[in-house]
Amino acid sequence: MASSANHVNHADPHTEGSRQAKEVAVIVNHPDPAMPRALRPREAAVLVCLFMSLAVCVIFGVMLATRGGVHEIESASDGHVCLTADCITSAALLLASMDPTADPCHDFFQFSCGGWLQDNPIPPEQKQWGVDSKMWETNEKILRRLLETPTLRNSTESYERKAKDYFQSCMEKEAREQASGRPLLELMDQLGGWAAVGNWSEATWDFNDTFTKLHLDLKVDALFFLWVNFDDKDSSKYVFRIDQGGLGLPDRSYYISKESLKVVDAYRKLIARVVQLLGADPDSAQDSAQDVVNFETKLAELTVPESERTNVNALYNNVRIHELKTIAPMIDWESFFHAMVPDLPSARVVLYATDYLRHISQLISDTPARTLNNYLLWRVAASFVTDLSQPFRKALEDFNKVAEGTAGVTEEWRLCLQAVDEHMGMALGGMFVRDSFSKESKEKVKEIAVDIKKAFVFNLEKIDWMDEQTKASAVEKSNHMVEKIGYPDYILNDTLLDEKFTELRVGRDSFFQNRVSGMRHQVRQMLAKLERPVDRTLWTMPPHLVNAYYWPNTNEMVFPAGILQRSFYDSKFPMSMNFGGIGGVIAHELTHGFDDWGGNYDKEGNLRSWWSNSSWTNFTRASQCVIDLYSSYVIEGKQIDGRLTLGENIADIGGLKQAYYGYQIWKKVHQQGEPLLPGLNRTHEEVFFMSFAQSWCITQRPEALDVMLLVDPHAPPKYRVIGSVSQLAEFSEAFHCPVGSPMNPVHKCSVW
């Protein structure tokens, strides 16, 4: 996931594995439906009265303890107050996160999340902390328990055995400490040696040979990103994709901006410490570190800012492999791709950074071999630092203190879980789903998605900037959009999961070798796609992750089991909370199919315009309003990049609207409505918006916020909330916000 700020995020394009309960509340004067039938009426009545009395006490206790005040418990004119255990729990969750002293019309984020932020400080080892972080923490503990239980299927091909052996090999701390940096040095020797540590000969070293091994054997992104995925203009085929990449710091601006000098200096020190731990003398280590930083700075200067790369049609360039020689002659492309796919001489490559490739070819030509070696081998070392002994990990922790503001040490078992997850994510997902996910949840969330898609079509008819022909195409795309919910069915089939990891070799006694094997297995699985027809049933994200995404090439939105739990979803929540929580996520991802990026793809997932010229012009004009809105937000003197965050902001605003009307559709079908929650004195429309906002109760360290503002396509959490609710008249109607108040501006942006 996904980091805390990114739980409704697009899948990372550079990775392969890069978001109804029709009745949930019981009216208070009805007996509890779970009550044993053997109870006599008098006994039942006494128990109900006792439960009601206890419930009222609990409510008042919760409110007094959590927020220091009590709201009246009062029925709305058209509903009852529910005092079942489920309703009490739901109300308590909302109340515990709120700041009732805040004015919802002035700052809805503080009103909804102020209590949560006060009660949930960021753990020392984390750069940010949110409700989704706590959900992931719960999932991590489940996975740890599963990995530490005895293996039931103990054959050599068992995915379960491999995952548990991988985890246990990582937990063997003594063996790792004894090995220190030796496994990495041995790997370096296989790559021709590292000049920084002295075991290198310029006369025998071959740049292209080492460069190819990094991508082919280790999936190390040096100079650029390489992966296999759909051809944007023909989603029935897989192709190689290449994009700019290869920097060690999160964004090009770190190398260029004077404000980031302390981070660059910390990065230089990290490189020097790792080199020294591998045997170099201090002066030589400093020189090599400076050499790497200087080269990466030149690479950063060639890298195009993401805010200038928002037009996918302009980026797309489909070429044959032999044409790459003209674009970037310093790379031996034929040998590079022949090592990967010997039998695909006419294979095609889609470039997303053609000019960048031209520039790095010249950079390679102008750079001494020693510097190229130092850069490439540092990229390898950086990939393995956390897999080595404690002094190496300490070097990384010291860097993170400066770059991320963290101070604590990540627990050993969490690092080991991350390692297994990176290479055996679907194996962990299969174990997680069998243990902790109900198929019933999958079906109920599907019902929410159906209502939200109906709402999208309903709202589409009211849009005045789109012509009828384009509206018809939008409806068609929406109707063709696939929802993948919970998990792929094959992960419940032991045989199929075993087959997925057949070629992965895992030993219980060699964690470092397991890491190398895992990287090589990832590359083999990636390349195997080129030999198979496109399979649209595949998932790119394991089901235990707390995340969700829309994938334009398949016109699908994916909601893993990991996010289908509190605080986003619970079958016992009122539907207002479920539509505000997971409904908001579903609607957000649906709207991505119609934002400035996803809107370029047709119903089949092909990069093809289905808009009339006038409708696209009007869409662009409406989008400019969103750009201007978010660019007006300034945090501690730093401005949100409204262009960089446009797609996510369109999805946030439009998604909230679709989720709201999806809930209205549900209410219309279920005309009896829902009892009010106790202790809130709020309508279910207000509860809907509160539930949406509380999905984004997240706090960040200043360093994490700095990185987010530079590279993240999402706005910071607070502004995802206030930027969305302030643009919906339905929110202001629910909370009776005066016109001109911060959450009800006179002029509003409306795209979808």
Confidence of residue 3 (pLDDT cuts 50, 70, 90): very low
CA dist., res. 289 & res. 266, Å (int): 11
CA dist., res. 52 & res. 397, Å (int): 52
Q: For the chain, give the mean pLDDT.
A: 88
Q: Looking at the predicted structure, is the pLDDT value of residue 312 above 50?
A: yes
Q: Which of 101-110, 305-314, 386-395, 511-520 has the lowest mean pLDDT?
A: 305-314
**Per-residue pLDDT at 155:** 86
Dihedral angle computed from the Cα positions of residues 499, 504, 509 and 515, in that order, rounded to the nearest 10 degrees? -140
Q: Which of 72-76, 254-258, 683-687 has the lowest mean pLDDT?
A: 72-76
**Per-residue pLDDT at 80:** 86
Alpha carbon distances (Å) from 677 to 25, 28, 580, 693: 9, 11, 15, 17
How confident is the model over 416-470, as pLDDT tens digits? 999 999 999 999 999 999 999 988 888 999 999 999 999 999 999 999 999 999 9
What are φ and ψ of residue 11, in 5° steps? Answer: -60, 140
How do beta strands 482-486 and 556-560 pair? parallel
For each of the domains in the chain, give its residue range(s) and CATH number, in order of start.
181-388 (1.10.1380.10)
What are φ and ψ of residue 41, in 5° steps? Answer: -50, -45
Average pLDDT over residues 727-742: 97
User: Using an 8 Å Cβ cutoff, are 696 and 109 in contact?
Assistant: yes
Q: Looking at the predicted structure, is the pLDDT value of residue 629 above 90?
A: yes
**Per-residue pLDDT at 532:** 85
Confidence of residue 30 (pLDDT cuts 50, 70, 90): very low
Average pLDDT over residues 732-743: 97
Q: Looking at the predicted structure, is the pLDDT value of residue 355 above 80?
A: yes
**Per-residue pLDDT at 79:** 59
CA dist., res. 562 & res. 135, Å (int): 8
Sign of the torsion angle spanned by Cα atoms 289, 710, 598, 731: positive
Confidence of residue 345 (pLDDT cuts 50, 70, 90): low
How confident is the model over 253-297, as pLDDT tens digits? 999 988 889 999 999 999 999 999 999 999 999 999 999 999 999
Average pLDDT over residues 338-351: 82
Q: Which of 271-280, 303-312, 342-351 has the lowest mean pLDDT?
A: 342-351
Percent of the chain with pLDDT over 70: 89
Q: Looking at the predicted structure, is the pLDDT value of residue 672 above 80?
A: no
**DSSP secondary structure string for all residues of 397-461:** HHHHHHHT---S---HHHHHHHHHHHHHHHHHHHHHHHHH--HHHHHHHHHHHHHHHHHHHHHHT
**Per-residue pLDDT at 48:** 39
Average pLDDT over residues 164-177: 95
Token pair of 128 as six digits: 């940010």
**Per-residue pLDDT at 344:** 64
How confident is the model over 205-263, as pLDDT tens digits? 999 999 999 999 999 999 999 999 999 999 999 999 999 999 999 999 999 988 889 99
Average pLDDT over residues 628-633: 96
Q: Looking at the predicted structure, is the pLDDT value of residue 46 above 70?
A: no
Q: Looking at the predicted structure, is the pLDDT value of residue 12 above 90?
A: no
**Per-residue pLDDT at 37:** 29
The count of other CB atoms within 10 Å of the CB of residue 229 is: 20
Q: Looking at the predicted structure, is the pLDDT value of residue 572 above 50?
A: yes
Q: Looking at the predicted structure, is the pLDDT value of residue 76 above 70?
A: no
- Residues that are catalytic: 589, 652
**Could you give the strand order of the β-sheet that contains 549-551, starting from the edge strand earlier in sequence?**
482-486, 556-560, 549-551
**Per-residue pLDDT at 257:** 87
**DSSP secondary structure string for all residues of 5-41:** GGSS-PPPTT-------S-----TTSPPTTS-TTS-H
Report CA Rg, the chain.
Answer: 27
**Per-residue pLDDT at 2:** 36
Confidence of residue 49 (pLDDT cuts 50, 70, 90): very low
Q: Which of 38-47, 242-251, 702-711 has the lowest mean pLDDT?
A: 38-47
